Amino acid sequence: MILVTGGAGFIGANFVLDWLALNDEPVINLDKLTYAGNLESLSSLQSDSRHVFVQGDIGDSALVSGLLATHQPRAVVHFAAESHVDRSIHGAEDFIQTNIVGTFRLLEAVRAHWAALPEADRAAFRFLHVSTDEVYGSLTPDAPAFTETHGFEPNSPYSASKAASDHLVRAWHHTHGLPVITTNCSNNYGPYHFPEKLIPLMIVNALAGKPLPVYGDGMQVRDWLYVKDHCSAIRRVLQGGQLGETYNVGGWNEQPNIEIVRIICSLLDELRPRADGASYTTQITHVKDRPGHDRRYAIDARKIEQELGWKPAETFQTGIRKTVQWYLDHSDWVERVQSGAYRQWVKAQYGTPATA
């Protein structure tokens, strides 16, 4: 059995679904169910005894300790985090509490549990910490991609909080011997993505006839990783990763944001044409850039390929087509996830409502 934190969020839910589709090892899924946590993403597991969902906070030490004692997981996969840069700019405290304090309390509960295990179980135990490439800061256009030895230079409250959590995980390994592994991934996209991030927001707004808000000149470059490729990388690292090591996980798909939006528009023009025959690109609207917006992230994922034999199965072209088609096929999921709080957030951030 494994314990997954944040398993009702975007990446966590995809991981849980893929895990149980590929093997019968049960999952304890601990999620606080904040605005981005959505149990509907896991509705196919509602009657599956292999999936045990617990609503709770990773910062609740008593709860976490009780789950560890009751279920005796062989590993913890730690996804739980506040993860939206824009939200961190407008209100950083939740990011500090969850990403730093929450990770600290989780580490302490896991350390106490691990230390009391029989020797063989202690040797086999793993704590896999899922992090982001944003901890490395911003790259110039011609700079080499981030490697695992790149210095941390976080530029937003979100990335600073994730960098702090990475440092805590490293320290608990070197100080206490906790068997940890860290992964730092690039921008994920795919099914069940809450429509505040770039790709799902563009799809949802386009279909609703709304403006497609692009920050600044739209030339911010990101490496894009299909979420199911990310999940396969995490499974491989959990299986064979070296203790105390960090593995960068990327899609080898660097694209500027404006090009991402144009590709989405082109796919929608093909798959769900506008009634008036115009291209969705006519809805693109440039808005004021956000403070401290990093210009480029790029992941060098050679280490995980060379040491563990992992590389992404999807190109951006295949992954984005699957993603757009998923949103077209699951408009009911999108409609239900768009709560009043979500509409208010998008209006405050972009000056336009998410729905009519």
Catalytic residues: 133-134, 158
| CA distances (Å), origin 194, targets 116, 201, 325 | 39, 8, 16
The Cα–Cα gap between 226 and 10 comes to 12
Calpha distance 122→35 (Å, rounded): 35
- Cβ neighbours around 122 below 10 Å, total: 14
CA angle 281/227/53 to nearest 5° reads 125
φ/ψ (deg, to 5) at 283: -90, -5
